[in-house]
Structure 1
Amino acid sequence: MGKIIFLDIDGTLCNDVGVVPASAKQAIIQAYENGHRFYLCTGRSKAEISEEVLDLPISGIIGAGGGYCEVDGEVILHQVFDSNELKKLIGFLEEHRVEYYLESNQGLFASANLKSRLIQLTLGDAKEDSAEGQEKIAAINWFLNLLIDDPSLIDYEDVNKVSFVNHSIPYEVIEAEYDGDFYMLRSTVPAFGPDSGEIGIKGINKKTAIETLLKHIQRDKEDCLAFGDGNNDLVMFEAVGTGIAMGNAKDELKAAADEITLTHDEGGIAHTLAKLDYVKL
């Protein structure tokens, strides 16, 4: 029987510009053909997962940091915010001029100035109308195009995570206000900045979702591997038999890993799958 392999997306399956390296694509396809099964395990909500990723032979998705789970197209878990608590949280972020987007399976709903902030962060010192600037913006257009900026379309009963892009107040101020009520962690997207982060539902994380998924498919922890790069993957490693940290992973995750592989662009996923004899390179 093949192994169950969980894949984080940002910084693991995808590189820093959101692209899946060719080595990872080829190895995943070959390992799937050899009987192994892959599940995404990501902080992204389903609406935020690119077609490039979904076109891989993926058997299921854990999204929203554990708040959503589907297996072979069947939704087996979907946890959402209490709408009143969510509105209070949004009020706090807006009061402190923190940009954000609400994540749901219906889409990503952006705060008023989020798109312009993301463009500013992406451009850096480049001019928007320069060739360099246009190239930088083109690289994030896939994400900008996902953002819905019409607040009348938001269903506050169907939001499973909030991501915030913050350059106004220290992360610790938001954490002090909400960490007891929600599950909080710093953003795994470096471009968002060190004071940015994610807010999820308390008691829900990648570990709890993996445990739900494994019970559903009747497989054991020891049958599982997981690839990750961020500190939100620490709990994912607790839920599997073997945790594999990417070469570009945070030091804390490397310390907790059973194995450390190469970086995403160096072919880390393919390297380890070949080392385990799941594929032939």
Structure 2
Amino acid sequence: MYTITSLRSSPMMHTSRRPPRLECLMISPRIAFVDVDGTLMETGSAIAESAIDAVRAARRNRHLVYLSTGRASVEIYPAIRDIGFDGVISSGGGFAEIGDELVIERTMPEAAVARMIGFYEESGYDFYLQSFDELYPSPGVHDRFAEYYASDEKRKVGAGSEGASVTGAVAHPALKAFADVRPYSLAGIAKSVFLAGDLRAYDRVSDALSGEFHVITGTIPHMGHGSGEVTLSGVNKGSTILRLLDRLGLDAASALGIGDSSNDIEMLQVCGVGIAMGNATDAVKAHADEVTTSVQADGVWHAFRRHGLI
């Protein structure tokens, strides 16, 4: 175990795959890939102020910090983008931006999208499709998320949650997008998210779509195996990070990846240092080099501090 000494509290980190090594302040610039939900912020909640401080301080120190999220670009709301990042990986690896320039697009063939939609509809599952700049929801998605956000708001009020608001408004901005039910696009789709009351949904989707598609679950915690994400086989945060690093002329050994969910596993595996949040599942922690503290306990800040970014 490592003891972290900082101006904040001093929790513990531990390694799971590599032998311990002491870190000193890095001279060469590093690059960090940071997840959003469960990493920068509690899922559906507010951004941790310590994470905002960490990202901005690291960039002042000339390190690169990229978002790496399962959200579509249009779901990265201004309060998140305004923290300031050097670029974004979105839709679980479907797209990558350097600054404001879209440089990587890994979308599905139209026939594959049609097959995926057909399976969801035959199964009676709600779902939404992610393109770079659009969401295409099925009719039931809005009500599912409206119920979740309402219960989450009550939980936050009861718990006295603090932090920078993601929405800046009473109505969650996702609900407007999820209310826009219209014909689905088959072109430009990088990812889908399925939602069902059926706790066998993940197994059924995986059995039906595996091979051509990469299917994971656990990214919407309150739904368990009743939900999941689908990208093309081989498309994930990790493989897109490698393409982006090649474009930037950087070595993966210089990269830090920080996340908490099953769609972060490949990111933790390819980065030189893969760091799981303290609130991550045991399955995710098993793929990490280190475990930092939770969102509420300044996890991103402590990880950046330990590795000399701040």
Q: TM-score by structure 1 length? A: 0.89
* Distance in 1, Cα, partners of 2:305 & 2:153: 41
1:260 aligns with 2:260: no
Could you list the runs of 5+ residues in structure 1 that have no partner in the other structure? none
Could you list the runs of 5+ residues in structure 2 that have no partner in the other structure? 1-27, 159-166
Q: Aligned letter for 1:96?
A: S
CA offsets, 1:25-79, max 9 Å, x none? 0111111101111011111111111211111221111111111111122222112
Over 3 Å counting, the alpha-carbon distance change for 1:125 and 1:48 in structure 2 is closer
1:117 aligns with 2:148: no
* Distance in 1, Cα, partners of 2:69 & 2:198: 26
- Aligned to 2:225, what secondary structure does the other structure show? coil
Which stretch shows the higher mean deviation, 83-92 or 108-117?
A: 83-92
* Distance in 1, Cα, partners of 2:204 & 2:189: 23
Task: Number of aligned residue pairs: give it.
Answer: 271
* Distance in 1, Cα, partners of 2:148 & 2:264: 26
Q: Aligned letter for 1:102?
A: L
Alignment partner of 1:166 out of 196, 201, 206: 196
1:19 Cα offset (Å): 2.1
Over 3 Å counting, the alpha-carbon distance change for 1:150 and 1:17 in structure 2 is closer
Task: Indicate the residue corresponding to 1:229 in structure 2.
Answer: 260
Runs of 4+ with >6 A deviation: 137-140
* Distance in 2, Cα, partners of 1:256 & 1:85: 30
Task: Indicate the residue corresponding to 1:201 in structure 2.
Answer: 232
Q: Aligned letter for 1:260?
A: V
* Distance in 2, Cα, partners of 1:237 & 1:218: 20
Which stretch shows the higher mean deviation, 89-98 or 28-37?
A: 89-98
Task: Indicate the residue corresponding to 1:26 in structure 2.
Answer: 53
Q: Aligned letter for 1:80?
A: T
- Aligned to 1:29, what secondary structure does the other structure show? helix
- Please say if residues 109 and 148 of structure 1, whose CA atoms lie closer than 8 Å, have aligned partners that are also in contact: no
1:161 Cα offset (Å): 0.6
* Distance in 2, Cα, partners of 1:6 & 1:176: 31
* Higher RCO (C-alpha 8 Å, min separation 6): 2
Over 3 Å counting, the alpha-carbon distance change for 1:126 and 1:261 in structure 2 is closer
Q: TM-score by structure 2 length? A: 0.81
* Distance in 2, Cα, partners of 1:19 & 1:155: 32
Which stretch shows the higher mean deviation, 137-146 or 61-70?
A: 137-146
- Please say if residues 224 and 242 of structure 1, whose CA atoms lie closer than 8 Å, have aligned partners that are also in contact: yes
